[in-house]
């Protein structure tokens, strides 16, 4: 079941779902629109090949902050983060996508999920698809989040490394995961 604006207001009013700050333009018909923070993560092109079995991917990103906008080069991916902190209850999960206006400008983004029990700002990868640069500004509504009710509360609420993340959070290292899988086979 997808939560409507009525359902979202009820969850928020009862304190089951928290979005802070909650702006007047946040709650939409069947989801919420979240705002771009004043920092984004951009790829570092001077690092060579990122080998997931050897390197920490966080070193392949640089964080840029500006209240006056940040320029994204043509055909470049970036990590956007929300101003808002979201606290998910154990009976909701969410699917994130770009607002239609942002997509129509030329941004794309893979589907991103927010697990039941997650708490923190959301970091989303976006790709600027055009051959010219673009300047983005803090405060624009860029992300549309749809909340889905689970049939039951989850048994294992999210408690991973991104819990309580603040600001842009580059991807975690996968070296240990790759090594653990090698031991399984």
Measured CA to CA in angstroms, residue 140 lies from 30, 69, 111 at distances of 19, 11, 20
| Number of domains into which the chain is organized | 1
Across-strand partners of 124?
80
- Residue 176 annotated in active site: no
Enter the tokens of residue 27.
């709650």
Q: Give 28-49 pLDDT, tens digit per residue.
A: 999 999 999 999 999 998 888 9
Q: Is the confidence at residue 80, as pLDDT, over 90? A: yes
Residue of 125, 155, 177, 179 with catalytic role? 125
- Domain containing residue 102: 5-184
User: Tens digit of pLDDT for each residue in 102-160?
Assistant: 999 999 999 999 999 999 999 999 999 999 999 999 999 999 999 999 999 999 999 99
Give the C-alpha separation, 59 to 57, whole Å: 5
Give me the CATH number covering residue 178.
2.70.40.10
Nearest-5° Cα angle at 29, 27 to 32: 35
pTM across the whole model: 0.92
């Amino acid at each position: 079941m997808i939560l409507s604006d009525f359902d979202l207001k009820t969850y928020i009013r009862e304190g089951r779902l928290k979005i802070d700050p909650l702006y007047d333009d946040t709650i939409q018909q069947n989801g919420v629109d979240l705002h771009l923070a004043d920092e984004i993560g951009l790829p570092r092109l001077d690092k060579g090949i990122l080998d997931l079995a050897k390197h920490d991917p966080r070193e392949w990103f640089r964080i840029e902050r500006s209240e006056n906008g940040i320029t994204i080069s043509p055909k470049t991916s970036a990590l956007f983060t929300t101003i808002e902190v979201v606290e998910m209850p154990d009976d909701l999960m969410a699917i994130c996508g770009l607002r239609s206006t942002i997509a129509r400008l030329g941004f794309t983004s893979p589907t991103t999920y927010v697990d039941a029990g997650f708490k923190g700002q959301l970091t989303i990868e976006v790709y600027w698809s055009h051959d010219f640069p673009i300047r983005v500004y803090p405060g624009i509504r860029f992300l549309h989040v749809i909340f889905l009710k689970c049939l039951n509360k989850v048994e294992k609420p999210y408690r991973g490394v991104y819990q309580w993340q603040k600001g842009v959070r580059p991807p975690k290292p996968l070296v240990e995961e790759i090594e653990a899988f090698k031991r399984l086979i």
